[in-house]
Structure 1
């Protein structure tokens, strides 16, 4: 593949990176140091698999379902639409999606919202992020989408109780990519490469996500 430009839309993993409330805090430390006599520098990391830019697996919300290592590779690489959307309500609904001038068929879609600006100040967790409500999830399912990405730590609104959006998408084998940094990305068509760590049976995994033109 020949590309004119590659964009890294992953959030850097660093101490102090904000995580979902209640998730394990990110810890990075050096276990071995050359400066202290070791033959090599070796670091240790402790974190949730849903830290920063990551993918969700069906087992994240569906007991007994498949893990991150079984996600279909053909869903993780290919043409993707980046759509800028600022819904009239708090979250993306089916009516918002109906208003978009989308192609008749598309398999992957990433939503750029006002969430992207939250990465300018990552000193605290934002609860007022834009998410996708169940009607939006159902609309996307009806249009055959197999991968959906969004520019904050969850595709589900913060105050939900039934996690209906996650259940709808994951039960239909739709790949969810969360925590994207889209500040430098203009709407349009790109080639997506979203490859999570291959952690056996895990409910999610951090990922390095690239967009290419």
Structure 2
């Protein structure tokens, strides 16, 4: 029986969010005492708070929205790569890994996992990783940071480079407790019509060496 590893940020009312964006909030609209039968909750949130995927529409007004994305990108074999030894992640850094049978890559960076703190500075993902990843057959890049670009970026160079090379984006993963290696990944977005992103419940299932 597979023991799934949760790599999602818990959604809490005190979690960090992008400065100026809508924070996450959960509350009970009605209690069982009031309704006589059930508790009913409500939530408000930015689609880019916590663990989430970016749809191309997020950074390209003519790009696909969440409901138009192929779900196959978010389910299947993934490789967790430890790049925590560097603050600048380039194609040269990624070159050292074994890319056999890898179509989804999750990067464990030097940024500590802390859902209640929004980092002012993050490790830098060089846009040159995009053509490299495409060459290796990768279609999904996941990171344990709020974004694949610096927090103050207006040009979103890495977002656009990944998009141009057919690579989907998964952000704000929790990977500090995950060892480098191969896993089964499930990180399904919600079917939100017209949306620019979506929260996901991302989990990993370990893969035995003989199953790779």
Q: Please report the TM-score for the alignment, with normalisation by the length of structure 1.
A: 0.89
- 1:71-82 alignment, distance < 5 Å: 71-82=69-80
Query: 1:113 offset after TM fit, Å?
Result: 1.3
Q: Partner residue of 1:50?
A: 48
CA 1:38 to 1:130, structure 2 compared with 1: closer, same or farther past 3 Å? farther
Q: Partner residue of 1:12?
A: 10
Q: Partner residue of 2:88?
A: 91
Q: How far apart, CA to CA, are the structure 2 residues paired with 1:176 and 1:200?
A: 18
CA contact (8 A) 1:55 1:204 kept: yes
Report whether the alignment pairs 1:173 with 2:166. yes
- Which deviations, in whole Å up to 9, do the C-alpha atoms of 1:7-33 show, x marking residues without a partner? 011111010110112211112121111
Q: How far apart, CA to CA, are the structure 2 residues paired with 1:102 and 1:59?
A: 32
Query: 1:179 offset after TM fit, Å?
Result: 0.7
Q: How far apart, CA to CA, are the structure 1 residues paired with 2:8 and 2:203?
A: 7
Q: How far apart, CA to CA, are the structure 1 residues paired with 2:204 and 2:6?
A: 7
Query: 1:184 offset after TM fit, Å?
Result: 1.6
- Which deviations, in whole Å up to 9, do the C-alpha atoms of 1:50-103 show, x marking residues without a partner? 110001101010112111112212211111100001354x331122112x2322
The answer for unaligned runs of 5 or more in structure 1 is none
Q: Partner residue of 1:114?
A: 110
CA contact (8 A) 1:133 1:157 kept: no
Report whether the alignment pairs 1:135 with 2:131. no
CA contact (8 A) 2:131 2:165 kept: no
Local SS of the residue matching 1:208: coil
Local SS of the residue matching 1:197: coil
Local SS of the residue matching 1:168: helix
The answer for unaligned runs of 5 or more in structure 2 is 207-212
CA 1:38 to 1:167, structure 2 compared with 1: closer, same or farther past 3 Å? farther
Q: Partner residue of 2:147?
A: 154
Q: How far apart, CA to CA, are the structure 2 residues paired with 1:194 and 1:68?
A: 13
Q: How far apart, CA to CA, are the structure 2 residues paired with 1:93 and 1:55?
A: 22
Q: How far apart, CA to CA, are the structure 1 residues paired with 2:12 and 2:116?
A: 12
Query: 1:172 offset after TM fit, Å?
Result: 3.6
